[in-house]
């Protein structure tokens, strides 16, 4: 490579360092006629040197010591739960149907599926309303099990997917402002702990949906104000709410859609896909059927508190004797 006299002079100290590092610099050849020097060296070795950690070090690197270790304990399920930020306001601004908007629920599920397809170590995800929980298998080593990396990747993938797929579910209705989701990471060491966590979230789904179904029936069908509806429901039990729904609005809560009452569970399942191909046999084209099994993310709207779901899908949880 050809360098100006000044440039070559400035680079001489660096090339001396290269020599100390045993990078083959052949020599400097002066060209008096042109006032330049020709540096002969092994360019491949030079490129390797320029991109090595030797060049990256500086006096400012000490700031890395301020980073805290957030590695998740091994042999534990890692749960990343996302919750919509200010989603009551977001739902009002975008005219979500009450008490449940199937478009919004479908978009949440589609965004969650995008996260699972990106991070295949997620063995199950559960969602309801404006939240979704993602469970990584105990042996996962994604991002070296760093909690901050896992949480931010899940949150960013989910949020961007929510925006990306918005039109699939809301058509021409404009997205007025970006949605926000906050996240947290929790570790569960046993199958029992993890199942209890998912049972807690599904029980929360039932409690909230029953209340919202009665509340909005009183407001939208019963003509009460929101304050009057709140007052009427104060101190009521589940049986009382079911009675109000049935006696005043002829609604049998147990016949409400499962997605509203049970939420959505996403798991990996093997699906058989059948296709037809044209092949040549003895110079004749024949159509043959080919069946292949592929793992895909599938949605289930069912009870996950009892044992039946887990017996039907034993591959989800690892055997830990619990």
Cβ-contact 245, 217 below 8 angstroms:
yes
Report the distance separating Cα 134 and Cα 124, nearest Å: 6
Question: How confident is the model over 184-205, as a mean pLDDT?
Answer: 97
- Given a cut of 70, whether residue 243 has pLDDT beyond it is yes
Q: Which residues are documented as binding site for GTP?
A: 83-88, 129-130
pLDDT exceeds cutoff 60 at 55: no
User: pLDDT class for 274, splitting at 50, 70, 90?
Assistant: confident
pLDDT above 50 (res 3): no
Q: How far apart are CA 17 and CA 145, in angstroms?
A: 39
- pLDDT (average), residues 278-297: 79
Instruction: Give the per-residue pLDDT at 2.
Output: 45
Model-level pTM? Answer: 0.78
pLDDT at 19 over 60: no
Residue 171 predicted with pLDDT over 70: yes
Q: Average pLDDT of the chain?
A: 86
Q: Could you give the percent of the chain with pLDDT greater than 70?
A: 82
Known binding-site residues for Mg(2+) equal 83-84, 130
Which positions make up the binding site?
83-88, 129-130
Give 222's contacts (C-beta < 8 A, 6+ positions apart).
229, 248, 249
């Amino acid at each position: 490579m050809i360098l100006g006299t000044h440039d070559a002079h400035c680079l001489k100290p660096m090339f001396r360092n290269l020599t100390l590092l045993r990078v083959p610099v052949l020599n400097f050849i002066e060209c008096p006629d042109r006032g330049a020097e020709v540096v002969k060296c092994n360019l491949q070795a030079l490129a390797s040197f320029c991109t090595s950690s030797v060049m990256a070090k500086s006096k400012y690197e000490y700031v890395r010591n301020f980073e805290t270790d957030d590695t998740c304990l091994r042999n534990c399920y890692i749960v990343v739960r996302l919750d919509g930020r200010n989603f009551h306001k977001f739902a009002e601004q975008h005219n979500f149907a009450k008490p449940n908007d199937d478009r919004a629920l479908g978009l949440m599920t589609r965004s969650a599926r995008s996260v699972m397809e990106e991070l295949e170590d997620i063995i199950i995800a559960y969602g309801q309303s404006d939240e979704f929980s993602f469970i990584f298998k105990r042996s996962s080593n994604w991002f070296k099990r760093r909690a901050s990396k896992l949480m931010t990747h899940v949150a960013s993938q989910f949020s961007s997917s929510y925006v990306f797929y918005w039109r699939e579910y809301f058509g021409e209705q404009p997205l007025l402002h970006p949605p926000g989701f906050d996240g947290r990471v929790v570790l569960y060491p046993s199958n029992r702990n993890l199942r209890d966590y998912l049972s807690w979230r599904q029980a929360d789904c039932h409690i909230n949906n029953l209340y919202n179904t009665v509340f909005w029936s009183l407001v939208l069908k019963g003509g009460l104000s929101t304050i009057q509806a709140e007052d009427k429901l104060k101190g009521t039990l589940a049986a009382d709410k079911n009675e109000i729904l049935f006696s005043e609005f002829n609604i049998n809560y147990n016949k409400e859609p499962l997605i509203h009452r049970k939420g959505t569970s996403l798991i990996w399942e093997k699906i058989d896909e059948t296709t037809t191909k044209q092949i040549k046999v003895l110079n004749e084209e024949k159509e043959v059927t080919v069946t292949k099994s592929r793992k895909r993310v599938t949605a289930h709207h069912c009870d996950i508190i009892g044992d039946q779901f887990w017996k039907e899908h034993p591959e989800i949880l690892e055997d830990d004797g619990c």
